[in-house]
Chains A and B, each alone.
Chain A
């Protein structure tokens, strides 16, 4: 169960978000967001519904236009190296009836490397095999994606990002709707991803369980309310009445 490991000098692999604003028409979804996180970290994006958790992940992934601000990775614009980003959408945003097997889905992750025309090489197949094995999905690779359980579906999308050789994993509510064993399996995989040098950012709504999974936390309420070690952020939240409106 080896995740592809990334050797970097940690300081270089910094995702830096600065003065980020996102608007949906006249509605302001995110305002003045700024933080820095690094490879090897597992970061929870916390906040109530409608506080901009999904929007932040989508803005980093380049799925929604930003009104102003910047997102940089290793010192350069993240928009220039989109293949570094693996994005896992919310369940309802995926067409689960699409005629694709788990393996077919993971193979899509290789398209940025293969381009439009090049045939899959042995290395491409090996990468797909490795990603599927890393997520413990080897026995299920010929199943259509709707025939997987919720947790398996999440891991299938993570495997696709692994096959893509992404460094940054953006996951929108990955634990939503999963039973407890599936949550524990997924949490274990996310911790391993971080331990092998990837950066994991996931929106999350269960405060109590967050320290088990994540090392850092970002708390949103359209603006950045708090940021830091996950236990400290949660302790500040529960101790301090000024934050009670946030959760």
Chain B
């Protein structure tokens, strides 16, 4: 059975895509966790949909058209939320919630009407088995770009995340760094949308590093650990979902959630069981 499974070009592609997208998103998830911007990324992942739809309508179905459309949509929703909060009684989070759900709805309607090979369901929940060679190449190029830029800019990014005002006073272009991080997040989202879908992509962009965070005390370990965990989990999910005949994207995110829960409970240093045991020292020798 396993021979058959690995022998299919179809599945090999899914395994490769899982490893690639899992690693890139997992690595980036370290930054998302340190930036404490998980919910922002969640709203972004939904806001991208109409942009992708318009991008495909205008320029056809390519990674570039999807990315440019996604970027424009993200900027419009992000800046729109700032504008509304500054010019009304409504605060930024409320404005963002309204704008991103509206954008998401527009995206759902538009994508449903595009006569493309990708179904709306695949945009929402992902279809890693349906990736073409071109999609895989695009995922590879985007992952390489994201990882390359993150590695090159690691020091200024870390300073910007740890102490933004001190970093700025030392000449680090903090604002540029944070926008760069946002741009890279959108790029990573464009690839993960096809694999896990926009509803679930947030899990892949947060959970790996959040799990490693229960063990790691160095940023490098957080990033690489997140990458490796993301890749291994995605590969395991591709295999598992094939065996059980369930949606791969959902299995990826569910496995990540279980891993996080395990770490939250059992981490020797920061786990909840350890802190409970330390609170009741008489149990220690039991």
Residues on A lying within 8 angstroms of B by beta carbon are 61-63, 82-83, 85, 87, 89, 94-95, 98-101, 104, 108, 111-112, 114, 116-117, 144
Which residue of chain B has its CB nearest to the CB of A82? Answer: B170
**Given A108-B158, A111-B159, A116-B152, A98–B218 Cβ distance below 8 Å?**
no
Using CB atoms, name the residue of chain B closest to A143: B217
* 13 additional contacts (CB under 8 A) given A94-B163, A116-B155: A63-B165, A63-B168, A82-B169, A83-B170, A98-B162, A99-B34, A99-B219, A100-B219, A104-B219, A108-B158, A112-B170, A117-B155, A144-B217
Pick from B163, B170, B213: contact of A99, CB under 8 Å: B213
**Beyond A63-B166, A82-B170, A89-B166, is A100–B218 a contact (Cβ under 8 Å)?**
yes
Of residues 126 through 171 on chain B, the ones whose CB sits less than 8 Å from some CB of chain A are 152-153, 155-156, 158-159, 161-163, 165-166, 168-171
The 22 sampled A-B contact pairs (Cβ below 8 Å) are A63-B165, A82-B170, A83-B170, A89-B166, A94-B163, A98-B162, A99-B34, A99-B216, A99-B217, A99-B219, A99-B222, A100-B162, A100-B217, A100-B218, A101-B217, A101-B218, A104-B219, A108-B162, A111-B159, A116-B155, A116-B156, A117-B155
Would you give the 0/1 interface string for B170-181, flagging 1 where the beta carbon is closer than 8 Å to chain A?
Answer: 110000000000
Of all chain A residues, the one with the shortest Cβ separation from B154 is A116
Instruction: Tell whether, in the assembled complex, residue B34 and residue A98 are in contact, meaning their CB atoms are under 8 Å apart.
Output: yes
Give CA–CA (A94, B153) in the complex, Å.
Answer: 22
Chain B's interface size range is 20 to 34
The 8 nearest A-B residue pairs measured at CB? A62-B169, A144-B217, A63-B165, A82-B170, A99-B217, A63-B169, A111-B155, A116-B155
Q: Tell me, rounded to whole Å, the shortest Cβ–Cβ distance linking B155 to chain A.
A: 5
In whole Å, how far is B227's beta carbon from the nearest beta carbon of chain A?
15
Chain A residue, CB-CB nearest to B209: A99
Of B153, B159, B221, which one neighbours A108 at CB under 8 angstroms? B159
Inter-chain contacts of B222 with A (CB < 8 A):
99
**Complex: chain B residue closest to A83, CB-CB:** B170
List, in ascending order, chain A residues with CB within 8 A of B166's CB: 61, 63, 87, 89
CB distance from B149 to the nearest CB of A (A): 12
Minimum CB–CB distance for A120 against chain B, Å? 11
Partner of B162, one of A61, A63, A82, A95: A95
Q: Write out the residue numbers on chain B whose beta carbons fall within 8 Å of the beta carbon of A94.
A: 163
For A61, list chain B residues within 8 Å (CB): 166, 169
A146 to chain B, nearest CB (A): 9
| CB neighbours of B34 from chain A (8 A) | 98-99
Q: How far is the CB of B232 from chain A (nearest CB, A)?
A: 21
How many whole Å from A71's CB to the nearest CB in chain B? 12
- Within 192-239 of B, Cβ neighbours of A (below 8 Å) are at 213, 216-219, 221-222
CB distance from B76 to the nearest CB of A (A): 30
Shortest beta-carbon distance, A229 to chain B, in Å? 30
Residue of B whose beta carbon sits closest to that of A94? B163
Separation of A89 and B169 alpha carbons in the complex (Å): 13
